[in-house]
Amino acid sequence: MALLSPTQSLVLVIDIQERLAPVIHDVDGVVSRTGVLLQAAQHLDVPALAFEQYSRGLGATLPALARYISNEAVIEKMAFSVATMPSVLTRLAATSRTQIVIAGMEAHVCVLQSAFGLKEAGYEVHVVADAVGSRRARDVDLAFSRLRMEGIGITNCEMVVYEWMRHAEMPHFKTLSRLLRD
């Protein structure tokens, strides 16, 4: 698996929603790291999409994250895997990007099924461990075990951002390294 590239990456934020968030283990950490990931993506021109599972019941993407995602980049879904939606696969293909970076909830359901489906569709998939959560910590651990067995990368927010930057001479280095320290 190659290092992540800002010109080949696309960030997917899966189901970090208002009514789901309160029951997620370490939700503050998940939201914080997802926010850092999205801010870095903006600075480095990495596109991001947000998915909302049954938003009428689970609410919208948390405002702390929605502020980094345009309204046109928010996609309603009922399927657990984003990869089962032909319109999503078409939209992803149109970007010509090959690396998918995933943050979201729940690790063992929608994140896992989306990662499996996107890998099957030919993408190099990376799940950001500190930007992923479930109601129970053991469900996250089990999801990571299954993802690793299928050759899906498990990374963290800091690794993603530093791989995107590659060196300290990058124009946004100071801003992004400061974000990572907070």
| Confidence grade of residue 2 (pLDDT, cut at 50, 70, 90) | confident
Distance, in Å, from the CA atom of 22 to the CA atom of 44, rounded to the nearest integer, reads 31
**Residue pair 89/49 in contact by the 8 Å Cβ criterion:** no
**Residue pair 93/43 in contact by the 8 Å Cβ criterion:** no
Summarised one tens digit per residue, pLDDT across range 141-178 is 999 999 999 999 999 999 999 999 999 998 889 999 99
Summarised one tens digit per residue, pLDDT across range 58-113 is 999 999 999 999 999 999 999 999 999 999 999 999 999 999 999 999 999 999 99
Alpha helices in 44-134 (DSSP H): 55-58, 63-66, 86-95, 112-120
**Residue pair 15/51 in contact by the 8 Å Cβ criterion:** yes
Task: Report the pLDDT averaged over residues 2-8.
Answer: 96
Residue 61: which of 45, 43, 73 has the closest Cα? 73
* Residue ranges of domains in the chain, CATH in brackets: 9-181 (3.40.50.850)
Its pTM stands at: 0.96
Predicted local confidence at residue 157, as pLDDT = 97
pLDDT of residue 182 exceeding 80: no
Predicted local confidence at residue 181, as pLDDT = 87
pLDDT of residue 135 exceeding 90: yes
Amino acid code (one letter) for 153: G
Buried b (16+ CB within 10 A) or exposed e, 144-176: beebeeeebbbbbbbbbbbbbbeeeebebeeeb
